[in-house]
C-alpha cells in the first residue's frame, strides 16, 4: 500500500504510523485489502512528533490504537477517561519514537565525521571541511558530536593525532619532527606541547620509558 502525503509518497507496512498535519492533502493507493485506523487529536506539542513511525517489535503503537478503537466502539462506563489515557500513551510512544529517530540521525552524523578524521588526521582539517563531509553545518556537527562523544570534533581530532604520535614514539626511531609531520602537528614543539598536556610527560621521557 502507498500513501501520498503532500508531495511525498510513503510505502506503508503493517504497524506503521503516519501523522498528517492539518491541511496537508493525503490519499491512499492499494491493490489489495487493507485496514487503517484513523485517529484525530490535538497533541500538547507537535514539534517532537515524527511524521512517519515504524512500530516497535512489541507492537505497542498497534495495541494502543486497537485499544482506542475498542473503547470508542463499546463506550462502556468511563470510556472517555480511558480514551484520554490511551491517547496520552500514544503520544508518548510517538515522542519516544521521534527521539530514537533523532538519536539515530545524530549518531550517524557523528560517525561520518569520525570516519573522516580517522582517515585524514594527517591533514590540516578544519571544522568546516569535516562538517561538509558529514553533510552538516559546523554548528550542527559540534552539537551532534558533543552528544555522542562529550567533546568537540576538533578535540577528538587532536586525540586521534596524539594516539598515533604516541604509537610512533613507542615503536619507531623516527625523529620528533617526522612524527609530528606524519600525525598532523605543525611542528615538533607543537607535538611536544600536546603530549605534555595530555600525558604529563615529554616525548623524550615517554620514548625512553
Write the pLDDT tens digit of every residue in 13-54.
777 777 777 777 778 887 777 777 777 777 656 666 666 666
pLDDT, tens digit (0-9, with 9 covering 90-100), for 137-163: 898 889 888 888 889 999 999 999 999
State the total domains in the chain: 2
3-state secondary structure of 114: helix
Q: Which domain holds residue 189?
A: 155-208
Q: Which of these ranges, 87-101, 110-124, 128-142, 147-161, has the smallest mean pLDDT?
A: 87-101
Q: Which of these ranges, 24-28, 184-188, 195-199, has the smallest mean pLDDT?
A: 24-28
Report pLDDT for 76. 92
CB within 8 Å of 181: residues ≥ 6 apart: none
Residue where a domain stops, chosen among 101, 117, 135: 101
Residues 9 and 90 in one domain: yes
Residue where a domain stops, chosen among 37, 72, 101: 101
Identify whether the C-beta of residue 59 lies closer than 8 Å to the C-beta of residue 67: no
> Does any domain span residue 28?
yes
- CA distances 35 to 1, 51, 120, Å, are 10, 20, 52
Residue 165 pLDDT > 90: yes
Higher pLDDT, 5 or 183: 183
Residues 94 and 160 in one domain: no
- Give the residue among 110, 200, 201, 107 at the shortest CA–CA distance from 157: 110
For the segment 155-172, the average pLDDT, to the nearest whole number, is 92
Residues 160 and 84 in one domain: no
> Does any domain span residue 39?
yes
> Does any domain span residue 21?
yes
Residue where a domain stops, chosen among 101, 125, 147: 101
CB within 8 Å of 133: residues ≥ 6 apart: 112, 113, 116
Identify whether the C-beta of residue 125 lies closer than 8 Å to the C-beta of residue 84: no
Question: What CA–CA distance (Å, rounded) separates 180 from 175?
Answer: 9
> Does any domain span residue 96?
yes
* Residue located via cell numbers 565525521: 113
pLDDT, tens digit (0-9, with 9 covering 90-100), for 57-75: 677 888 888 899 899 999 9
> Does any domain span residue 147?
no
CATH number of the domain enclosing 183: 1.10.10.60
> Does any domain span residue 116?
no
Report pLDDT for 46. 61
Question: What CA–CA distance (Å, rounded) separates 163 from 171?
Answer: 12
> Does any domain span residue 149?
no
Amino acid at each position: 500500500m502507498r500513501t501520498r502525503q503532500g508531495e511525498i509518497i510513503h510505502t506503508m507496512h503493517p504497524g506503521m504510523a503516519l501523522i498528517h498535519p492539518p491541511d496537508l492533502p493525503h490519499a491512499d493507493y492499494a491493490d489489495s485489502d487493507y485496514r487503517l485506523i484513523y485517529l484525530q487529536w490535538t497533541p500538547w506539542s507537535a514539534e517532537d512528533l515524527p511524521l512517519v513511525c515504524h512500530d516497535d517489535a512489541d507492537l505497542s503503537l498497534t495495541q494502543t490504537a486497537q485499544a482506542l478503537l475498542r473503547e470508542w466502539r463499546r463506550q462502556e462506563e468511563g470510556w472517555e477517561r480511558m480514551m484520554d489515557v490511551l491517547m496520552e500513551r500514544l503520544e508518548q510512544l510517538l515522542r519516544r519514537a521521534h527521539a530514537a529517530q533523532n538519536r539515530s540521525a545524530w549518531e550517524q552524523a557523528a560517525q561520518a565525521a569520525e570516519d573522516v578524521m580517522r582517515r585524514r588526521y594527517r591533514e590540516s582539517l578544519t571544522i568546516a571541511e569535516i562538517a561538509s563531509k558529514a553533510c552538516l553545518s559546523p554548528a550542527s556537527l559540534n552539537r551532534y558530536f558533543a552528544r555522542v562523544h562529550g567533546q568537540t570534533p576538533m578535540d577528538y581530532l587532536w586525540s586521534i593525532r596524539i594516539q598515533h604520535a604516541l604509537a610512533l614514539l613507542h615503536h619507531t626511531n623516527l625523529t620528533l619532527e617526522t612524527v609530528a609531520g606524519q600525525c598532523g602537528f605543525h611542528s615538533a614543539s607543537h607535538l611536544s606541547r600536546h603530549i605534555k598536556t595530555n600525558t604529563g610527560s615529554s616525548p623524550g621521557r615517554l620514548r625512553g620509558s
